[in-house]
Amino acid sequence: MEKIAVASDHGGFELKEIIIGYLFSKDVEVIDCGTDSPVSVDYPLFGKKCAEMVASGKADRGIVVCGSGIGISIAANKVKGIRCALCTSVEMAKLSRQHNNANMLALGGRLTETTLALEILEAWLNTEFEGGRHKNRTDMLDEM
């Protein structure tokens, strides 16, 4: 069973809770890294916590949500070994997996309609890394 760590700040809390329910319905083991309410918190703390779960191998992949998805994706990408992609379309989600082997997905809770967010999530979960010429590039990213 795949383990996915999920985290948000207050701006992404509502979407995070929806994502967790969706993942449970797909028989995915979820590690909830917080936050646990819509009360204002600092997104870097939650992006880092989720990314560290992925980087350490405690989770296979991670999903982070803040108001726009921008700040929390930047925080996650500060952790070595993380390739967190902020996706605003299904095509971006597919490409983030096919070409970049993104091990984390970021979404904007205030900017992404729930239906679209779940379509993006589904595409990201079900798209495989193509490898080949892309492997050299992801190796370069991992060395940075």
What tens digit of pLDDT does each residue of 31-66 get? 999 999 999 999 999 999 999 999 999 999 999 999
* Paired tokens of 33: 């890294």
Q: Which two tokens stand for residue 109?
A: 């809770």
Q: Please enumerate in sequence order all residues whose Cβ is within 8 A of that of 142, keeping only pairs 6 or more positions apart, or say none.
A: 80, 81, 83
Residue 69 has pLDDT above 90, yes or no: yes
Determine contact, residues 88/119, Cβ cutoff 8 Å: no
Buried b (16+ CB within 10 A) or exposed e, 18-34: bbbebbeeeebebbebb
Instruction: Please report the domains of the chain, with CATH numbers, ordered by start residue.
Output: 3-143 (3.40.1400.10)
Convert the pLDDT of each residue in 11-25 to its tens digit.
Answer: 999 999 999 999 999
Q: What pLDDT score was predicted for residue 143?
A: 86
Residues marked as catalytic:
66, 99
